[in-house]
Structure 1
Amino acid sequence: MAESMKGLKRTHRCAELSSVNTGEKVTVMGWVQKNRNKGGIVFVDLRDRSGILQIVFEGEDKAELIEKAAKLRSEFVIAVVGNVEARSGAVNENLATGEIEIRAEELRILSESETPPFPIEENSKTKEELRLKYRYLDLRRPDLQRNLMMRSKVATLTRQFLSEEGFLEIETPVLGKSTPEGARDYLVPSRIHPGSFYGLPQSPQLFKQLLMCSGYDRYFQIAKCFRDEDLRADRQPEFTQIDMELSFVDVDDVIDVNERLLAKLFKEVLDVEVTLPIPRMTWQEAMDRYGSDKPDTRFGMELTDVTDTVKDCEFVVFKGAIENGGTVRGINAKGQGGMPRKKIDKLVDFAKDFGAKGLAYIALQTDGTVKSSFAKFMTEGQMQNLIQAMAGEPGDLLLFAADKNKVVWDVLGNLRLEIAKQMEILNKDEYKFVWVTEFPLLEWSDEQNRFMAMHHPFTMPMEEDLKYIDDDPGRVRAKAYDIVLNGNEIGGGSVRIFQNDIQEKMFEVLGFTKEQAYEQFGFLLDAFKYGVPPHAGLAYGLDRMVMLMAKEDSIRDVMAFPKVKDASCLMTEAPSEVDDKQLEELGLEKCSAE
């Protein structure tokens, strides 16, 4: 039977106590982690969000108390009044409270618990599906609680820092207009306007630009955003952005304030010094060196362009790629020359997943011999020149891809990461930041047979590239920038277009008629007629940033109630069907799941 808390007030969380409190009478409350009955003496580990504390029930005059304590089971919620004492047994160095224990004088059982479907413990081996079904129990685990407390601290520090920098926290609407340029919107039917729908925001982009038009100068928001897209480990249908926009600034101003924000967060949350300024590289340099616009710079294994070195060889794969306007590039996996053939074949299959037709290799043995998949098509001189171009040494494995640039970058960019994982050289304790700048403004979509905005239609082209926008739009670079951490894009932004003629030209290149542009973005374009300041912004994926700070592999481990791969919630069973009356009010018909 549950007892009342009446007359009791918690004095401390469990791990707030230490040897400094020895001799004090305290009241602690929490969940029973473990109960050990040693016959005449009962030890209980009490857990709350701060940590674990040992409670001792002992004494000739405490028979009734000891008997009550002996009945405690895991996850019972209890309150204990007692005195802080030095541990009678050995000190537990694994616990923050390992030097002390509470000698209990009073015990109240506030709530009993059924046996949980899995143990509440760190680094749980329980299947994620079961843990997510009982997420309220899973969230009691100390490692998840630490992650969510870290997330809270990041949000609090961000608010403090941006407020001190003159930013105003302003909320923007969640029910807005659907603008289907980009990922799919989540739609909300309107009861009052039958047949019409709101779109949930993929970002507060348009509203924050309007706030700049309204003179608010510096805005920020920790904003919930929604995208109806396929999920992966670092993606969810609803996610959180640290969103900001600044007026009367250019690229360097946005980068400066954000570098100082990152330095503060990593110092205060992790005690990690971020060396400023953070290195910058252009998109072109990132692709050429790392095969990725989110390069992991914690290790080398950079791409080398060997097109000129092999252009005269007779290897048809290399020749064909070069004749079709492609390139031949390679990576040097240092010390992997002895990799078994079966493992190399697996790498070939891995490369095929990213569009490669195959993968050429040279394995340089430590005894000086050379094993290669294409040696017979090369003269000895050509082979030596290629090995030299790749800085190959005995013991190295050289891997090559030949195709259009996009495919070669994709293949080798992913391959270097896969090999680094296999070599176990990715250190989660190392935090390597890099800014990637000067992205292409546009990318061609074969599916839509038109250019698409690489970021969004309001990104400012680099002024010196505007001359190419009619005849060679693919050549135009954007005033866009991403902040990358350990191979993950954690934030991105751009300088925005604020001149009417450039915005109209952008819509024209994207294939919008004036009418179409006004239909989707008319309220923004109208606002721009009334004096718009130069402005720029950036948004971080809060979930992804905290995931990396917490050294987790999935953003689900830093979110309280995440969805699974099919965008459903195993705990609440959302999404679910609604009754016919609700559908009728919205003017909708129930459709069959088939």
Structure 2
Amino acid sequence: MVRQPELYRTHRALDALGVPPGTEVVLSGWVQRRRDLGSIIFIDLRDRSGIIQLVFDPARGTPPEVMAEAERLRSEYVINAAGPVERRAEHTVNPRLETGTIEVLVRRLETLNAAKHPPFYIEDDIDVDEAVRLRHRYLDLRRPQMQRMLMLRHQVTRALREFLDARGFVEVETPILTRSTPEGARDYLVPSRLQPGEFYALPQSPQLFKQLLMVAGLERYYQLARCFRDEDLRADRQPEFTQLDIEQSFLSLAEFQSMMEQMMQHVFRTVLGVEIPVPFQRLPYQEAMERYGSDKPDLRFEMPLSDLADIVRDAPFRVFQDAIAQGGVVKALVAPGCAGWSRKQTDELVQFVGTFGMKGLAPIAVAGEEFRSPIAKFFSPEQLSAIAGRAGAGDGDLILIGAGPRATVLQAMGALRSKLGHDLGLIDPDAFRFLWVTDFPLLSYDEEEGRWVAEHHPFTMPRWEDIDKLESDPGAVRAQAYDMVLNGFELGGGSMRIYRRELQERMFQALGFTPEEAHRQFGFLLEAFEYGTPPHGGIAFGIDRLVMIMGKGKSLRDCIAFPKTSSGTDLMTMAPSEVSPEQLEVLHLSVKGPAAKPHGTAAAAPRG
């Protein structure tokens, strides 16, 4: 029989630690586990704050009817329990529980709701397929680890708002239904019922709107913005995500970067109690690529790449000679203490770099004054010593050399550096190393499209000294763009913006837009620039990624309440799904392709 509860919670589990012994409390939550010792029953009660032990003991005053009700309890039943808080005897203290020094002797009990046996245990570090967890996400979110991650996310966003509010930033919501624009990832499109054949796009970013807010004189804006990108997914990508979007006027690049450093310092101090040193290191894009093979290097360990072209140029080793002659590079890194690795171990590294398109990897083991390598015969003792010296290799180290096209080698060796850093235990898991990567190329040439494309986006301001090269040498133009990198992840990216119409039109022309195309796509922005636009710039930080790093999650799915799989599917609601013919007809749409399943039918199996 359904009836109104008679008990109402007075304390959460963790709150009971602060009440005097003998104080009666009412606790509410889920049964974590039940232990029946015959005459005594123990229940671990879980709520959002933690777990506390309930004791049902007739010898200590638990009524018979309460004992009978306790015997019917099972895992995940929802209950109210009332009774006095008591100190545990010293030999019964549970150091694994935050509340392990106390227990509640239950005198009254209400079962609010029964529960089916869950498909997995509601506890941390469970070995269960992620697809099962996502299918039953509402149960997965009961686990303390997931609760902590969502609380961390709340604390992070609160700290960010505190910092920005204190500095005069105004939170403004920008449209979710907007227009599709080129020069980005694929848009998610939304058909318009009232304008047949026309579509809205879900925003990949509020970029244009936040610039227009600067035109409007708001001067300092921020937003925790929901954004959408129809792109292939990885562990650190989701089709919908949250970013902290910031834009400001009348600040120099250096002043703005300093403010963002202080913001991160505030967040880490407030949320984790960790002090982040400022200013952050700055590294130009080209130097980051040459030194680490990545524009988001993990600086928790060093292991730089070394350029060997000048040393090996004249050696009779064809692989290196061909790479240099064709405009490529010869790069080395050092695996410390790995000179004794077997052929099988080095072959596994060759296979690894091969996935990035690099054709081989030459190992040289350093053993005192000797160099052991299949390619040692091609080099003089002086050249081998020079290679070791340039790479920074010492006795017992293994030098790994890659050669080929610059982009391929840098990507492969950068990935190898990251792999070795993890595999060799060179990374302090508790460290947070911030970095600004600066001076990105403004444009890059897309061979498939046969035109220049924006490296960041078309509204990025060129370096002032490079503007005159925009038409004559676009590949040499550097951008006033900057990425904030943390522990090998791009945490946020931003730039100072173009704010004069004539320069924005030159940028569109460099990207291959005709004046008519530029006006059709961005006429509203170009017109706005004619009404007194201030110098401005901004940045966007990935909130999901920031929380993942701070909470030491393994993927973004660990810090999003209801994430998608790597194929973009919500396994809990089974979205995306078909819609009815009537819905399509109202939108003046029809579906081409494989025959659709009848409306309302479920997929045969989860798409993971």
**If the length of structure 1 is used for normalisation, what is the TM-score?**
0.98
Partner of 1:311: 313
Q: Secondary structure at the match of 1:17?
A: helix
**In structure 2, which of residues 161, 171, 184 is the aligned counterpart of residue 159 of structure 1?**
161
Per the TM alignment, residue 198 of structure 1 is displaced from its structure 2 partner at its CA by 0.4
**1:422 aligned to 2:433?**
no
Unaligned regions of 5+ residues in structure 2, if any?
596-608
Instruction: Measure how far apart 1:348 and its partner are.
Output: 0.7
SS of match in other structure, 2:341:
coil
Which residue of the partner structure matches residue 67 of structure 1? 68
Decide whether the 8 Å contact of 1:304 with 1:331 is kept in 2. Answer: yes
Structure 2 counterpart of 1:116: 118
Task: Give the equivalent residue in structure 1 for 2:603.
Answer: none
How do 1:356-505 and structure 2 match up within 5 A?
356-365=358-367, 368-505=369-506
What's the offset of the Cα at 1:141? 0.4
1:146 counterpart SS class: helix
Equivalence for 2:345: 343
How far 1:501 moved relative to its partner? Answer: 2.0
Cα offset, 1:19, TM superposition: 5.3
* 1:43 corresponding residue in structure 2: 42
Structure-1 residue corresponding to 2:246: 244
SS in structure 1 at match of 2:92: coil
Residue 2 of structure 1 contacts residue 110 of structure 1 at CA under 8 Å; is this kept in 2? Answer: no
Out of 215, 235, 238, the position equivalent to 1:233 is: 235
Cα offset for 1:84? 0.8
Check whether the contact 2:437–2:483 (CA below 8 A) recurs between aligned residues. Answer: yes
Query: How much has 1:2 moved relative to structure 2?
Result: 5.3
User: Hey, what does 1:5 align to over in structure 2?
Assistant: 5
Post-superposition Cα deviations, 1:62-92, rounded to whole Å, max 9, x if no partner, equal 2221121121000000001111110145111
Alignment of 1:247-262 (within 5 A): 247-262=249-264
Deviation at 1:253, TM superposition (A): 2.0
486-495 vs 513-522, greater mean Cα deviation: 513-522
Does the Cα contact within 8 Å between 1:31 and 1:74 map onto a contact in 2?
Answer: yes
Residue identity opposite 1:473 in structure 2: P
Are 2:330 and 2:401, in contact at CA under 8 Å, matched by a contact in 1?
yes
- Would you say the 8 A contact 2:305–2:391 is kept in 1? no
Q: What pairs up with 1:91-106 in 2 under 5 angstroms?
A: 91-106=93-108
The equivalent residue for 2:518 is 517
Q: State whether residues 19 and 86 of structure 1, in contact with CA within 8 Å, keep that contact through their aligned partners in structure 2.
A: no
Cα deviations across residues 118-154 of structure 1 (Å, max 9, x unaligned)?
1111112110001100000011000001000100111
Alpha-carbon distance in structure 1 between the residues aligned to 2:79 and 2:4: 10
Letter in 1 for 2:24: K
Determine the C-alpha separation between the residues in 2 that align with 1:536 and 1:22: 58
Moved more, 404-413 or 222-231: 404-413
| Structure 2 length-normalised TM | 0.95
CA offset digits 1:301-322 (Å, max 9, x no partner): 1011111111111111111111
CA contact (8 A) 2:8 2:80 kept: no
For 1:9 and 1:165, locate their aligned partners in 2 and report how far apart those are by CA, in whole Å: 42
- Structure-2 change in CA distance of 1:2 and 1:371 (3 Å): farther
CA RMSD of aligned residues (A): 1.3
Shift of 1:3: 4.8
Kindly state the Cα deviation for residue 368 of structure 1 after the two structures are TM-superposed.
4.7
Q: What number of residue pairs does the alignment pair up?
A: 592
Question: SS state of the match for residue 106, structure 2?
Answer: strand
Aligned residue number for residue 211 of structure 1: 213
1:2 and 1:111 in contact (8 A); partners too:
no
What is residue 539 of structure 2 aligned with on the other side?
538
Q: Displacement of 1:451 after TM fit?
A: 1.1
Q: 2:257 & 2:385 partners in 1: Cα distance? A: 45
Q: What does the per-residue CA deviation read over 1:147-200, in whole Å, with 9 as the maximum and x for residues that have no partner?
A: 001001111111111111100000000000001311000000000001000000
Structure 1 residue aligned with 2:109: 107
Give yes or no for contact 1:350–1:415 (8 Å, CA) kept in 2.
yes
Structure 1, gaps ≥5 residues long: none
Is the contact between residue 298 and residue 486 of structure 1 (CA under 8 Å) also seen in structure 2? yes
- After superposing on structure 2, the runs of 4+ consecutive aligned residues of structure 1 that deviate more than 4 Å are none
C-alpha distance after superposition, 1:482-517 (max 9, x if no partner): 110000001110000012222111111111111111
Q: Please tell me the residue identity of whatever aligns with 1:188.
A: V
Give me the whole-angstrom Cα distance separating, in 2, the residues matched to 1:306 and 1:3.
79
8 Å Cα contact 1:3/1:111 also seen in 2: no
The aligned residue for residue 17 of structure 1 is 16
Query: Quick one: distance in 1 between partners of 2:109 and 2:42?
Result: 13
- Tell me the amino acid that sits aligned with residue 533 of structure 1: P
Q: Which residue identity does 1:42 align to in structure 2?
A: I
Alignment match of 1:289 (pick from 276, 288, 291): 291
Q: What's the counterpart of residue 560 of structure 2?
A: 559
